[in-house]
Structure formats: structure tokens, C-alpha cells
Structure 1
Amino acid sequence: MDSSERIQIASNFLLQSPPGEINDVLNDVRVIISDDESLQEGVLPALREYNLAQFIVADVPGTKHQSIVSTAARAPPSESDSEASKDRFLDPRSKTSFAFDHITLEASDPQTYEPDAESEPLRGALETSTLSYLAAHYLEGVGCVYAVPDSPDMVIQIVANKYNPTNYWSGRWRSEYKVAVQAGTLSGRILANVHYYEQGNVQLASEHNVEITLPTGSRPPADLASKVLALIADEEGKYQTSLNDTYQEMGEKTFKALRRALPLTRQKIDWDKVLGYKLGAELASNKAGFAS
């Protein structure tokens, strides 16, 4: 197997990394490549794709908050930009753009930018409502609102991560919505990823698409933003409830249908004594043989 094939295998592993565990996967695939310089250069496209899709968050230099790294957050390129410019992203909240390293996950080189004056009132109102929604419903959520270039539309992105390696699980909630002002629609998707790996390895990935009609008529930005986030809160609340119901049903019906809850003895097996169980069965069999 040549180096390019190893790089491709490593990239595929990285793209399937569970939430918060990509560094662990990267360390593991080092064994496959055995060349850190080739590894970093070869898997950079996969790391970039993964980070953008997973809404990786970055500590914005000079601020006390985090921002989302995503396709919607890409800074508009300029004629003087180099290849590295595609790794610059916007933090509309602080009106800052920053460079992002997809390997170290660090932000740097903050630069001020001027938002579009026409779209900023609605974008700012949506941001205020989004942050209020996060404070009420997400313990450690990050939310950003982006104006779509050359359009009155807006994109709202939300991500919440929870990593608990001590108890062998991690999870990530992502949601993205497009507010199409002229079309009067709110469309998007909700994605949830959970990984359990205590004495096993189970991943759950779910996706829910959203399509809602917005109220007609002209509204002040603050009123429209409040209505949009109320609709999002309702949709995410219903989806969370449906997930809880699904998990409950899986525990009570699906998994029980796949295997016995207990062996025929109706007692849990003590795996530390499993050899003793086997010897006991053999002795009992031999005893029966002698008796006959």
C-alpha cells in the first residue's frame, strides 16, 4: 500500500470521528502513516471538511465568546487573498474576521470588517434573539447569525457540545436555519450525534429537516427575530421530545427483541467466574456419568 492510499484511509477515518474525539482518531492514524509531515499535509482537506460540517467552535481573539467555523461563516475573498484566505472566517458578533488552523483548532490574526448596512438591523436582531434562546435552553451552546451575501436572507447556526470521556460518551447538537425573508420561509435541519463506548462502540446520528412558513406582512426586525426564534424553539422542543420517546421505545422494545435481558438461569453472569461455571458444568456431567 503506497502513501497516497494510506492518506486516503486516514482521511476516511477522520471524517467519521465522533464528537470531540478527532484528536484521538488523528493520533491513532499516525500509526498508519508514520510520517507526521505527510500526514498533516495529506489529511488537511479532510480536517477542513470535518470542521466545517461539524460547526467546530473557535475562541475569537480579543473577545470573551466563541464563534462557529462553517461554510456560512467564510470570510468573503478579495483579489489579494492567497490560498490561505479560504481559512478565514467571520464573527459577526464582534465584527471580526479571523484565521483558523484546522489542525490545531486555534484562531488568530483578528481583523475588523464592516457588515452590510442594509442587512445588519435584521441580522443583529436575530443574533440577540438567538443568544437569549441559547441562554434559556443550552448549557454551553454557541450561536451565530450570518447575512447571506447579495441577499436579504439570513443563516442561523447553533451548536452544543457535551464531552464526558470519564463516563465514555460524547455528543453534539447542530442546527442550521435559513431565514428567507422575501420567500417567507424558515428552512433548515437539526443534527444530533452521540457516541457511547463503554465496553463497546455505538454511534447514533440523526437528522431532522425543517420547513416552516413565516407570518406574512412587514414586521420590524426585532418582532420578526422574536417570531423566528419562537418557531425554532417550538420545532427543536418537539424534536427533542421525539428523540426521548424513540430512546425509551428502543430500551423497552427494540433492544429486548434483539437479545435476552438475562440468560436462562435468570441471573447475570459474573464474567470473572466464567471459567468456574464451565468447570462446574463439566464436573456435574462427569458425576452423572459415574452414577449411571
Structure 2
Amino acid sequence: MTAEEHIQAASKFLLQSPPGEINDVLNDVRVLIGDDESLETGVLPALRQYNLEQLTVAEVPGAGHGSIVSIRARTTEEEDRFIDPRSKTSFIFDHLSLVRVAPTSEPFRSALEASTLQYLSSHYNDGTASVFATPDNEKCFIIQIVANKYNPVNFWSGRWRSEYVVDLEARTITGQILVNVHYYEQGNVQLETRHQSSITLPTSIAASAPSASTKKVLALIADQEGAYQESLGDTYHEMGEKTFKGLRRALPLTRQKLDWDKVLGYKLGAELSSSKGVFGGSGGSA
């Protein structure tokens, strides 16, 4: 038999493995073929088919429960990523070793999430944050922060949104801040603003030192958001003192509101006086 025929025979044995005995069958065919590298490459499609059809259970580390590996749970066929609905996470499953493979970016992502939540509790009264690892780049992470404040009793509402892309390979943080404020007491004023930012990461920040590095990342973000918040405060103050005052009707020198009924009477009296002068009046002689 050729090497290819050996692989085909081994694949058939694996697909017929009894429950819980797939590893025993794999070890037996490994001895028969004697070439682990070609065996693992050749029988991988059969192992994938077996695990998906048999609804193999993978333990989810840190969750305390198992998750079913199946076609229904698979999110991407290329890297064999599966979703665990119970913990609301996804994982990569190694069909050969039958273990869940944690992404190499997870330690840094977890540390970045911890630093982000600490920053959130220190600077936001009521906010929510999430940190994501990008699937196509293990050295790129996304931080999203949102804080809402609704106060209908006092006729105002507001929302702060910010997003930062932390790229360890490019050594940059690119972000944007979006603020929307609505004030509607006896009127309707809405302010919407957007701020773009770009930060260069120092060389001391590295994926190999997640705890210390992520704290520095959030310190840089805190400086950006703090400076922008101060600029917004200055803008609001200037708008209140200059812009909005310029839109108001100036009061007369008496500092009293005009009585428009009296103004109408003054106007009527002026018109009558003008008419009297044109058509003649008392005291004149022919």
C-alpha cells in the first residue's frame, strides 16, 4: 500500500471509532503508519468530520462547563472557531489534540480590559466598556466606551462615545470621541461633536508585559479624553457668554421688556399726527 492509501485506511478507522475511543484508535494507526507528520496532516479532515458529527464536548477554561463542537456552533470554517452560547465566548478547537486553543492575544486583551474597566470606574459615573481582539491581527485591539445620561425632568440628555484601536505592531492608538447633548427646555438645542486622535505608543509597551503596558495605554487615553473634555467646557462657556447672548433680543435702556400693545398705540398715534399735518389743522388761515 502507498502512503496515501495508508492515510485513507486510517481515516476510515477513525470515522468508525466507538464513543470515547478516538484517541486509542489514533494511537493504533500512528504505530501502523510510523510517520506522525504525514498522519496528522492526512487524517485531520477525518478527525474534523468525526468531532462535528459526534458532537464532541470541549471544556471551556474558566467557565466550569463544557461546550459542544458541532456544525451549528462553528462560526468560521477556516480556523475551526466555535461559539459557546452559555459563556458568550468563542474558541478555536484543535481536532487532533481535542483541546480548546486560547488565542495568543488573550492575555494582553484581558489585561487591557482590566485596565479599561479600572479607568471607567475612575472617570465615568455610569459607563460601559468593551475590549475586543481583532481576528485577523493578534496585535491589534479595540476599546469602546459609552456613557449615557438621561435627565428628562430637567429637559436634557447626553451621550459620550469613544473608540480606540490599539495597534502594537504599528505602535499607534487611533481613536475618535463622539459627544451628543440635547437641551429642550422651552426650546430645542442639540450639540453633536466629533474628535479624532492619534497617539504614538512608546517602545516600553509590549504584548509580553500586558499588565504594565495596558496601564500606560489607558494613561495615554486618559490624557486625550481629559484634554478634550476641558476644551468642551471652554466651548460651552464661550457659547453661553457670547454666542447665545448674541442671538437674544437686546433690551431697551430701561432694561425692561417691551410692552408691544403700547408700541402699537404709539405707532397709531404717530400715523394720526402725520396725517393731520398733511391735510391741515387748526390755527391756519387761508
What TM-score do the two structures reach when normalised by structure 2? 0.57
Match of 1:263 among 240, 251, 276: 251
SS of the equivalent of 1:222 reads helix
1:52-85 deviations in Å (ceiling 9; x for gaps): xxxxxxxxxxxxxxxxxxxxxxxxxx9758xxx9
Structure 2 counterpart of 1:199: 186
Question: Considering only CA atoms, is the larger Rg found in Structure 1 or Structure 2?
Answer: 2
| Count of paired positions | 185
Match of 1:141 among 127, 150, 175: 127
SS of the equivalent of 1:249 reads helix
Match of 1:226 among 215, 222, 232: 215
Match of 2:196 among 184, 203, 209: 209
SS of the equivalent of 2:175 reads strand
Alignment CA distance shift 1:79-1:208 (3 Å): farther
Q: How far 1:202 moved relative to its partner? A: 1.6
AA aligned opposite 1:113: T
SS of the equivalent of 1:237 reads helix
What is the 5 A alignment of 1:122-141? 122-141=108-127
Match of 2:154 among 147, 152, 167: 167
Q: How far 1:255 moved relative to its partner? A: 2.5
Match of 2:260 among 254, 274, 278: 278
Alignment CA distance shift 1:282-1:134 (3 Å): same
Match of 1:113 among 46, 65, 89: 89
Task: Give the whole-Å Cα distance in 2 for the aligned partners of 1:144 and 1:204.
Answer: 26
Task: Give the whole-Å Cα distance in 1 for the aligned partners of 2:158 and 2:84.
Answer: 29
Question: Unaligned stretches of 5+ in structure 1?
Answer: 1-77, 86-94, 98-109
AA aligned opposite 1:211: S
Structure 2 counterpart of 1:236: 225
Alignment CA distance shift 1:159-1:96 (3 Å): farther
What TM-score do the two structures reach when normalised by structure 1? 0.56
AA aligned opposite 2:137: S
Task: Give the whole-Å Cα distance in 1 for the aligned partners of 2:128 and 2:222.
Answer: 15
Structure 1 counterpart of 2:22: none
Q: How far 1:139 moved relative to its partner? A: 0.2
What is the 5 A alignment of 1:6-45? none
Task: Give the whole-Å Cα distance in 2 for the aligned partners of 1:285 and 1:150.
Answer: 76
SS of the equivalent of 1:251 reads helix
- Identity, in percent, stands at 51
Q: How far 1:120 moved relative to its partner? A: 1.0
SS of the equivalent of 1:183 reads coil
Structure 1 counterpart of 2:240: 251
Question: Unaligned stretches of 5+ in structure 2?
Answer: 1-69, 76-82, 92-101, 274-280, 282-286
